[in-house]
């Protein structure tokens, strides 16, 4: 969910020059932050218990596609850096509802998000 607001503003450069502009404010539900938090939680648990298999699923709704780009999880122009010593393989998720599986494979020492 997203709320977009635009407001007229006056931009003052100095005492003699000002111009008009528009300020855009975007408020989002926090879908990316919630998803990132789960990946970060899985990484911390895998790091603390490296011999333990971890598997769970969670239902997510994304308003926009989500993908992993290098060490970042991104939605549109917003990205969260994932600081994890364990390799993460994550598929790209389109907008909509998804039942997402989070798996830490202790044998391969790899996290899979699909």
- Does residue 67 carry a pLDDT above 70? yes
- Domain interval for residue 42: 29-113
- Does residue 1 carry a pLDDT above 70? no
Rounded Cα–Cα distance for residues 36 and 79 (Å):
9
Rounded Cα–Cα distance for residues 62 and 30 (Å):
10
Q: What are the tokens at 31?
A: 């879908």
- Does residue 52 carry a pLDDT above 80? yes
Between the CA of residue 5 and those of 23, 30, 42, 46, 78, what are the distances in Å?
8, 17, 35, 41, 18
Position 72 in a domain = yes
Position 6 in a domain = no
Position 12 in a domain = no
Q: What are the tokens at 84?
A: 């994890």
Q: What is the mean pLDDT of residues 1-13?
A: 89
Position 22 in a domain = no
pTM across the whole model = 0.78
Domain count, the chain: 1
- Does residue 32 carry a pLDDT above 70? yes
Position 5 in a domain = no
pLDDT confidence bin for 4, thresholds 50/70/90: confident
């Amino acid at each position: 969910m997203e709320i977009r607001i635009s407001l007229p503003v006056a931009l003052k450069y100095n005492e003699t020059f000002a111009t008009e502009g528009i300020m855009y404010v975007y408020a989002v539900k926090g879908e990316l932050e919630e998803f990132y938090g789960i990946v970060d939680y899985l990484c911390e648990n895998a790091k603390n218990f490296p011999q333990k298999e971890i598997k769970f699923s969670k239902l997510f709704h994304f308003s926009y596609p989500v993908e992993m780009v290098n060490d970042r999880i991104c939605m549109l122009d917003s990205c969260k850096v994932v600081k994890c010593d364990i390799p993460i393989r994550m598929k790209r998720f389109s907008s909509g509802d998804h039942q997402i599986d989070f798996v830490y494979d202790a044998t391969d020492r790899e996290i899979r998000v699909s």
